[in-house]
Amino acid sequence: MVPPPSAPSARARDLANRLAEVVETFQRQYPGTSTEDIRQAVRLATRSERNVQRPRLAAGLAVLGALVAGIVSLLASKGVGAMEGTVPVVAIGIVAVVVAMMVALRRRDG
């Protein structure tokens, strides 16, 4: 359930007024600026540090997935326990899960 929106604070209203002034000035200087250009600019300007960390997180997941797949493959090739003969299935499964997580992160940021 989504909570109802709260009334904007005085700071938020002040910032909105300033942004509106900047956008109007920009549109006067560059006629034909689309609303999509403005949306993208606001999105770029308000990108948080957390979003900057996403590529690092995705790279870390990729390395972790490769490491786990490598360990599983090594153990299976040595004939450890019941893993013998299951190398391709387990390794492909691990890689698929890591790729799916990276795609989900990418879509979430998109």
Each residue's pLDDT tens digit, 81-96:
555 555 566 667 777 7
Q: Contact at 8 Å (CB) between 109 and 79?
A: no
- For the stretch 25-46, pLDDT in tens is 989 998 998 888 888 888 888 7
pTM over 0.75: no
Mean pLDDT (whole number) for 87-109: 71
Helix axes 54-77, 87-109, angle to 10 degrees: 180
Where do the domains of the chain lie? Answer: 10-46, 50-109
Helix spans in 46-86 (H): 49-52, 54-77
